[in-house]
């Protein structure tokens, strides 16, 4: 059995807990590896190594730090296929989708290459006579990243690129379900010239996470995962005096007005609901269809579903792979099976006629869904698209704003005024206009509202730089015989 180790101080090391977890091939349902689970001692060692590396790395000049990021950019570019095939092997997403994940992650390394410019502070000459004031941004120290199974390469890149470029050292606790991509990333960072100890990977479960949350030498924690754990990470981390950004789950609505291009809306709904088997935090899970066009739209979505090719990522031509585990597949299946009992209409049942091996489901479409039904209220995180019929714009916006989540949303319309009103009204962090998955480019920041994010700073982009630095303001003067005198009063502008 293949064994996956931790990465501490520039090399793969065995854990000391004696505990491990299974890594499945979701396309066959068979276990393919065992991943070491970190003990408290393993966490302490990784944090100590990262702490020791911090003083040298933060003193490394900006050009050198940018150079490491540029080299990492080249290495990830050259290894796109290797990273993507690891993602397909452990997560199950098809190769094209995995390559897309690598490409979107790479953008964040490219953004971090601009770190000399990003860390410029402000400067005010002659704030008082002979006195200048300026601000500088300094790294926090050892920072931790805890990441989910659905983007095993991209989400770590959201975090470590900016964290390292800003001069921090990093401890990553990736998802234990698909941990191999993080080990390849660690090797590439070493090849890029990052000093040993500046980037470490600890695999594991709550034991590792809890130790990171309480460790006195961890200054900040970035988390991406489900809402209950995000809330827990935020509450525990902040209680222990850490800076925390914790991104949670989602229930993304796509509002389709009567004047929308219905073929474009149907293409978008199908792509955004079933891509990556619906295991994306920005997946569309509810279409809000205006009554006037709802029958047509449901028909157009339904007719597109049979041509979606479901199967193992390894077979060319498949568009949708399996779900991550058998347990998760069964949970998703339960929402589909329960929908009619709650009063919804099951238009396409994706639980039937699925491949015998592996954790597969086919796309499901549920119509006439309302709040109060489990398939509407819960984040399903699988290939299940619900349709809720609405009288028009106001009912749609009311439903979106009443939802506990506020990650992503989209409006489909030809009416610029309605789209602009939607941007103004909607209580969601990332908004698409005729764009179903509005993941911001790396020079903006990613983050939802309400139960989709706990903390003040969004992930990556300008917020990422703010999160991984703290500001110091220097008020400075030099001895000058013309201004020097004894004065016990409070310093003030003259």
Residues identified as active-site:
281
Whether residue 344 contacts residue 315, with contact meaning beta carbons closer than 8 Å, is answered with no
Q: Is 397 in the site for ligand NAD (CB under 6 A)?
A: no
Position among 72, 142, 153, 247 found at the interface with ligand NAD (CB under 6 A): 247
Q: Please state the closest distance from residue 464 (CB atom) to ligand NAD, in A.
A: 13
CB 194 within 8 A of CB 50: no
Write out the H or E segment, with its range, that includes residue 449. strand 449-450
Q: Least Å distance between CB 138 and ligand NAD?
A: 27
Q: How far apart are the first and last CA of the chain?
A: 74
Contact 303, 387 (CB under 8 A): no
Q: Which of 206, 309, 414, 472 binds ligand NAD (CB under 6 A)?
A: 206
Provide, rounded to whole angstroms, the least separation between the CB of residue 171 and ligand NAD.
Answer: 12
**Position 157 contacts ligand NAD (CB under 6 A):** no
If you search the block for the tokens 């917020």, which residue do you land on? 463
Considering only CA atoms, which of 375, 355, 357 is closest in space to residue 366?
375
Enter the tokens of residue 366: 């549920």
Quick one: 8 or 380, whose CB is closer to ligand NAD?
A: 380
State yes or no: residue 145 binds ligand NAD (CB under 6 A).
no
Segment near ligand NAD (CB under 6 A); pick from 50-58, 169-177, 308-316, 368-376: 169-177
Rule CB under 6 A: choose which of 42, 90, 176, 463 binds ligand NAD: 176
3 state SS of 343: coil
**Which of 47, 98, 202, 224 touches ligand NAD by CB under 6 A?**
224
- Nearer to ligand NAD by Cβ, of 393 and 405: the residue is 405
In angstroms, the CA 485 to CA 14 distance is 64
| H or E segment to which residue 393 belongs | helix 393-402
212 part of the interface to ligand NAD, by CB under 6 A: no
Q: How far is the CB of 158 from ligand NAD (least distance, A)?
A: 8
What value does the CA radius of gyration of the chain take, rounded to a whole number of Å? 25
User: What is the strand order of the sheet 20-25 is part of?
Assistant: 2-4, 30-36, 20-25
CB of 87 to ligand NAD, least distance (A): 14
Identify the residue among 57, 111, 360, 381 touching ligand NAD (CB under 6 A): 381
Q: What are phi and psi of 449, to 5 degrees?
A: -115, 175
Per CB under 6 A, the list member of 173, 215, 304, 329 interacting with ligand NAD is 173
| Count of residues interacting with ligand NAD (CB under 6 A) | 26
299 binds ligand NAD (CB under 6 A): no
451 binds ligand NAD (CB under 6 A): no
By the rule CB under 6 A, 152 interacts with ligand NAD: no
Nearer to ligand NAD, 57 or 149 (CB): 149
Q: Is 179 in the site for ligand NAD (CB under 6 A)?
A: no
Residue 26 engages ligand NAD in binding (rule: CB under 6 A): no
How far apart CA 370 and CA 331 sit, in angstroms, is 20
Query: Shortest distance, CB of residue 358 to ligand NAD, whole angstroms?
Result: 18
How many beta carbons lie within 10 A of that of residue 456, not counting itself? 12
Sheet arrangement for strand 469-477? 123-128, 131-139, 469-477
Q: Does 378 bind ligand NAD (CB under 6 A)?
A: no
* 105 makes contact with ligand NAD (CB under 6 A): no
Tokens of 378: 């819960």
User: Is residue 226 a contact residue for ligand NAD (CB under 6 A)?
Assistant: yes
Q: Is 175 in the site for ligand NAD (CB under 6 A)?
A: yes
Q: What are phi and psi of 475, to 5 degrees?
A: -110, 120
Among 35, 83, 146, 384, contact with ligand NAD (rule: CB under 6 A): 146
Tokens of 382: 């699988």
Instruction: Name the residue nearer to ligand NAD (CB basis): 25 or 178.
Output: 178
113: closest CA among 60, 168, 66? 66
If the CB atoms of residues 167 and 278 are measured against ligand NAD, the closer one turns out to be 278
Strand partners, 449: 406
The distance of closest approach from Cβ of residue 249 to ligand NAD in the complex, given in angstroms and rounded to an integer, is 3
> In the bound complex, what is the minimum distance in angstroms from residue 148's beta carbon to ligand NAD?
3
Give the nearer residue to ligand NAD in terms of CB position, either 10 or 148. 148
- Check binding of 281 to ligand NAD (CB under 6 A): yes
Query: Which residue in the block uniquely carries the two structure tokens 């739209």?
Result: 297
202 binds ligand NAD (CB under 6 A): no
Q: Which long-range contacts (CB under 8 A, 24 or more apart) does 11-18 make?
A: 11/196, 12/183, 15/39, 15/42, 15/203, 15/204, 16/41, 16/42, 17/41, 17/42, 17/204, 17/207
Q: Is 241 exposed, middle or buried (0-12, 13-18, 19+ CB in 10 A)?
A: exposed
Q: Are 181 and 153 in contact (CB under 8 A)?
A: yes
Among residues 226 and 401, whose Cβ is nearest to ligand NAD?
A: 226
Residues in contact with ligand NAD by CB under 6 A are 146-151, 173, 175-176, 205-206, 209, 224-226, 229, 247-250, 281, 379, 381, 407, 448, 452
């Amino acid at each position: 059995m293949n064994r996956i180790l931790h990465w501490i101080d520039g090399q793969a090391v065995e854990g000391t807990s004696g505990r491990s977890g299974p890594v499945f091939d979701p396309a066959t349902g068979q276990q393919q590896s065992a991943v070491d689970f970190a003990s408290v001692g393993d966490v302490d060692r990784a944090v100590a190594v990262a702490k020791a590396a911090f003083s040298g790395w933060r003193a490394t000049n900006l050009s050198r730090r940018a150079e490491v990021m540029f080299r990492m950019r080249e290495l990830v570019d050259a290894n796109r296929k290797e990273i993507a095939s690891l993602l397909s092997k452990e997560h199950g997403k098809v190769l094209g989708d995995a390559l897309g994940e690598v490409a979107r992650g790479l953008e964040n390394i490219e953004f971090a290459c601009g770190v000399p410019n990003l860390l410029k502070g402000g400067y005010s000459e002659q704030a008082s006579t002979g006195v200048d004031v300026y601000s500088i941004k300094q790294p926090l120290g050892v920072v931790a990243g805890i990441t989910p199974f659905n983007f095993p390469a991209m989400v770590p890149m959201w975090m470590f690129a900016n964290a390292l470029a800003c001069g921090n050292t990093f401890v990553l606790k990736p998802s234990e379900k698909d941990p191999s991509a993080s080990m390849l990333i660690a090797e590439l960072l070493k090849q890029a010239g990052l000093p040993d100890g500046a980037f470490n990977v600890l695999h594991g479960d709550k034991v590792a996470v809890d130790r990171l949350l309480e460790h006195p030498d961890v200054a900040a924690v970035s988390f991406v995962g489900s809402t209950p754990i995000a809330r827990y990470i935020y509450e525990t981390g902040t209680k222990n005096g850490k800076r925390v950004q914790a991104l949670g789950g989602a229930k993304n609505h796509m509002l389709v007005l009567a004047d929308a291009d219905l073929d474009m809306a149907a293409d978008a709904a199908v792509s955004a609901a079933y891509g990556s088997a619906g295991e994306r935090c920005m997946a569309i899970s509810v279409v809000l269809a205006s009554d006037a066009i709802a029958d047509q739209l449901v028909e157009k979505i339904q007719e597109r579903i049979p041509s979606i090719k479901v199967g193992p990522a390894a077979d060319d031509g498949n568009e949708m792979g399996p779900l991550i585990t058998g347990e998760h597949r069964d949970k998703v299946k339960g929402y589909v099976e329960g929908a009619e009992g709650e009063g919804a209409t099951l238009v396409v049942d994706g639980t039937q006629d699925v491949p015998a091996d592996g954790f597969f489901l086919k796309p499901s479409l549920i119509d006439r869904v309302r709040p109060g039904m489990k398939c509407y209220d819960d984040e399903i995180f699988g290939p299940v698209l619900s349709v809720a019929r609405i009288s028009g714009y106001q009912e749609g916006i009311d439903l979106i704003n009443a939802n506990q989540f506020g990650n992503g949303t989209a409006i489909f319309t030809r009416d610029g005024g309605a789209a602009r009103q939607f941007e103004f009204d909607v209580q969601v962090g990332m908004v698409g206009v005729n764009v179903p998955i509005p993941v911001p480019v790396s020079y903006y920041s990613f983050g939802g509202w309400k139960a989709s994010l706990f903390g003040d700073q969004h992930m990556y982009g300008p917020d990422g730089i703010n999160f991984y630095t703290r500001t110091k303001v220097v008020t400075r003067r030099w001895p000058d015989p013309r201004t020097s005198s004894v004065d016990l009063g409070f310093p003030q502008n003259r």
